[in-house]
Amino acid sequence: MNWSVHSAFGFWTVFFIFIWGFTGVYLTFPEPFAAAVDYLDPLEEDNFDPRTGDRVLYWFAYLHFGRFGGWSTKLIWAVVGLVPPAMFVTGVVMWWNRVIRRQRS
């Protein structure tokens, strides 16, 4: 059962985990992302409209923390946010059964 839970959690939440990982890298190291936006779409002195890249970077924070939508979106983000610790626990149990239990017997 442990393997099934670990596999199901991993399969059904891989998209969320990828989003959190990618946007987390942006939130940790914003300078390379800002430099890429400046390179692809340089600032214009006479135009104060937000650039497409700036909008994308703005949405990275919203995606990472689930700030879009209503309470239902925040609830989904919170529940799915519990999956990585659950995967850690199920992974440790699988490792324990495969490695440690074998070494003891």
Domain region containing 73: 2-104
Q: What is the dihedral of CA 88, 91, 97, 103, to 10 degrees?
A: -80
The pLDDT tens digits of the residues spanning 8-62 come to 999 999 999 999 999 999 999 999 999 999 999 998 888 888 899 999 999 999 9
In this model, does residue 100 exceed pLDDT 90?
no
Give the SS3 label for residue 105.
Answer: coil
**pLDDT score of 101:** 80
In this model, does residue 72 exceed pLDDT 80?
yes
Mapping DSSP onto H, E and C, the string for 2-70 reads: HHHHHHHHHHHHHHHHHHHHHHHHHHHCHHHHHHHHHHHCCCCCCCCCCCHHHHHHHHHHHHHHCCCCC
Give me the number of domains the chain comprises: 1
